[in-house]
Structure 1
Amino acid sequence: MAKNYFEGWYYKHQFKDDTLICIPGIHDEEGVRRGFIQLVFRDQNRYLEFTEDEIGTVSDTCVELGKNIFTCYGIHLDNEWILADLSYGEFKPLRYDIMGPFVWLPRMECSHGVLSLYHNVYGRICWDNEEIKVDGIGYIEKDKGTSFPSEYCWFQSNAFNSEACVLFAMARIPYLGFKFWGHFAVVYDGVKEYRFATYLGAELLQCDKTHLRLKQGSYYLRIKVHFREGVPLKAPDAGSMKRIIHEAVMCEGEIWLYKKSELIFHECTPAASYEVCMND
């Protein structure tokens, strides 16, 4: 592993009125390799640290940190804050990499990947002496590089009345001395994947705390968010987990997707995740 590097996974589980988010990862700061898990549940968050000796297997399909294990089949959490055994159903992957041709560019500050848009989740959680039965849905993505973008916006939700997933991201990307804005969005309606992206000619019309709007060819996407203050999370900056960002985990949202004048997707969500890190 190179110095000043990070690699992190975002495991999201939504069930009934709850959302459990697990963010395992590793980072290297000036040659010192450490592991971490960030956990968010019921408006509480915890940051767990692991020494290099406590880091086990690390791959796209398995991450082991202490007694905690994250795989494509499910997760096992065993720490002082929460115990859990959750199993996953079949993953719904993207048709092709979310970064499109940008995936081939070397030395990107932050590369993004989506492992599963949608899958079933079932099992049990023991939290604060309460045993909770889980029968819900999941989502998994991954980031790697040296730092999170200095400015970005990210929205994601699976909490709909259908087997759907909506994802949006925009970031200011530095590359070879230049900076440019890149964006993408995916609407998966349970059958078909609709994708917007900079590399596909998508035009960003609006991006702020309450509205996200994109246009691409004959397609128009609008996302309205009822923004709320988020919980603090640590984020990488040159390999060090010293930056603080905030993620709102239970935002209400509404999504409209049009093809010309025809409304082809419309859903409301009570539990979207939303991060906005923009300079005024």
Structure 2
Amino acid sequence: MFDKIRNPILFQGTLTKKNYFEGWYYKQVSIDEKVSISFIPGVSLVKGDEHSFIQYIYVTLSEQNELVTKTGYIRYRLDEFNYQHKPFSVQIGDNTFTESFVSIQLKDEQVTIQGKLTLNDFQDIKRTVFSPSIMGGFAYIPKMECYHGVISMNHTLKGFLNINNQKIDFTMGKGYIEKDWGTSFPKEYTWIQSNHFKNPSTSLFFSVAHIPFHVITFKGFICALVVKDKEYRFATYNNSKISIKDQKSDTITIFLENKEAELTIKGTITTAGELIAPKEGIMTKVIKEGLSGEVEIFLKDKKSQTVYQDFSKLAGIEIVEP
């Protein structure tokens, strides 16, 4: 149990669970930043409709220099899902996802994707006994609606993907990995992620959500910002404060503060595609996600009295309202 908590990339469930989902999120961006593609392998364990799946979200520039987003949900039988812990791997059909590579053989009415990408050294978050994952001490609490893990804030890639008969070079491009598991996605949440800032060492993960917790509910948030190898953590569990302003269906401004620093995040969705999220384990909830959102960050370090400002135009953003 504790090995799984400390290593969220491992399969956290069992194939006998009911009303359960688990999904990994592998994001890749090409070196020229013209192609972004995320793969979401996972399982949905609902009586009568147990299956595995791979979702994708594919963003590219058209000949007219316009962003085009394609998404898809490819179903597989449950017995086509196989996993192992050491070394970690998840295999769904002819597709394999590990800590060192991904091998893809996908096809539907929109895309044909083939290829293999090597994943280089992961940038991990800070972990302690009391905070074994991005969820802090909440990682130890059983029967929460949704658990979250950040696997790699930033890593480089090597290899090619052949997408619709076009060979895309991802060598020296960037990757990011996270995952979710439980029964349902929150009914209301915002998620922002980018590791494509003007400063190439900067990476950001942020999430705020409506959290049912036994007989009460609360607004929980977690944020990790890495700047020049220093991680700033803002979270419900470390007494940080949050203020949300100007939230709309495609824009949001977030202010975070703790004794160490202040952080302002401004996010804007530019284009988005539809993905499927779980509700009571059933993959039926439609959400919208873009991989080419715009994010501006402004950080003030209280101890050093320094300020840092940066901008990304390759951010993953979801704003889900009830």
TM-score tier by shorter-chain length is over 0.9
- Partner of residue 75 from structure 1, selected from 91, 102, 106: 102
Q: What residue in structure 1 maps to residue 12 of structure 2?
A: none
Q: Does 1:93 align with 2:93?
A: no
1:92, 1:218 → 2: CA distance? 22
Correspondence 1:155 to 2:192: yes
Of 64, 79, 90 in structure 1, the residue corresponding to residue 91 of structure 2 is 64
Query: Structure 2 length as normaliser, TM-score?
Result: 0.83
Write out per-residue CA displacement over residues 8-62 of structure 1, whole angstroms, 9 at most, x where no aligned residue. Answer: 0011112222211111101101264210111111211111100022112265931
**Alignment-derived partner of residue 48 in structure 1:** 74
Structure 1 residues 241, 58: closer, same or farther in 2, change over 3 A? farther
Structure 1 contact 72–88 (Cα < 8 Å) conserved: yes
Quick check: 1:98–1:113 contact (8 Å CA) kept in 2?
yes
Q: Which residue of 252, 277, 286 maps to 1:235?
A: 277
Q: Tell me: CA distance 1:174–1:214, structure 2 relative to 1, closer, same or farther (3 Å).
A: same
Instruction: Give SS of 1:148's match.
Output: coil
- Quote how far apart the aligned CAs of 1:79 are: 2.1
Q: Using a 3 Å threshold, how does the CA distance of structure 1 residues 77 and 184 change in structure 2: closer, same or farther? A: same
User: Which residue of the partner structure matches residue 117 of structure 1?
Assistant: 153
Alpha-carbon separation, structure 2, partners of 1:83 and 1:101: 40
Give the partner amino acid of 1:101. G
Q: What residue in structure 1 maps to residue 294 of structure 2? A: 252
Could you tell me which amino acid in structure 2 is paired with residue 98 of structure 1? Answer: I
User: Is 2:247 the counterpart of 1:216?
Assistant: no
Partner of 1:188: 226
**1:27 and 2:44 matched:** yes
Partner of 2:320: 277
In structure 2, distance between residues paired with 1:148 and 1:206 = 20
1: CA distance, partners of 2:308 / 2:143: 37
Supply the distance in 1 between the matched residues of 2:254 and 2:124 (Cα, whole angstroms): 24
Offset at residue 211 of structure 1 (A): 1.1
Deviation (angstroms), 1:254: 1.1
**Among 215, 227, 232, which residue is 1:177 paired with?**
215
Letter matched to residue 71 of structure 2: N
CA deviations over 1:99-131 (Å, ceiling 9, x no partner): 111111110000000111111111101011111
Query: 80-89 or 200-209: which moved more?
Result: 200-209
1:224 alignment partner AA: K
Match of 2:203 among 165, 174, 177: 165
Kindly provide the amino acid, as one letter, of the partner of residue 49 in structure 1: R
SS of the residue corresponding to residue 229 of structure 2 reads coil
> How many angstroms apart in 2 are the aligned matches of 1:141 and 1:20?
14
Q: Runs of 5+ in structure 1 lacking a partner?
A: none
Output the aligned Cα RMSD.
1.6
Counterpart CA distance in 2 for 1:198 and 1:191 is: 23
Aligned mates of 1:185, 1:52 — CA distance in 2: 34
Structure 2 residues not aligned, in runs of 5+: 1-15, 60-68, 128-132
Matched residues in 1 for 2:268 and 2:242: separation?
20
Q: Secondary structure at the match of 1:79?
A: strand
Using the aligned pairs only, state the percent identity. Answer: 34
Residues 14 and 2 (structure 1), Cα distance of their counterparts in 2 relative to 1, 3 Å cut:
same
Distance 1:39 1:187 in 2: 26
Q: 1:175 to 1:31 in 2, by over 3 A?
A: farther
Aligned residues: 279
SS at the partner of 1:210?
strand
**2:6 equivalent in structure 1:** none
Amino acid at match of 1:117: M
- Name the CA distance, whole Å, in 2 between partners of 1:84 and 1:258: 42
2:185 maps to amino acid: F
Match of 1:13 among 19, 28, 35: 28
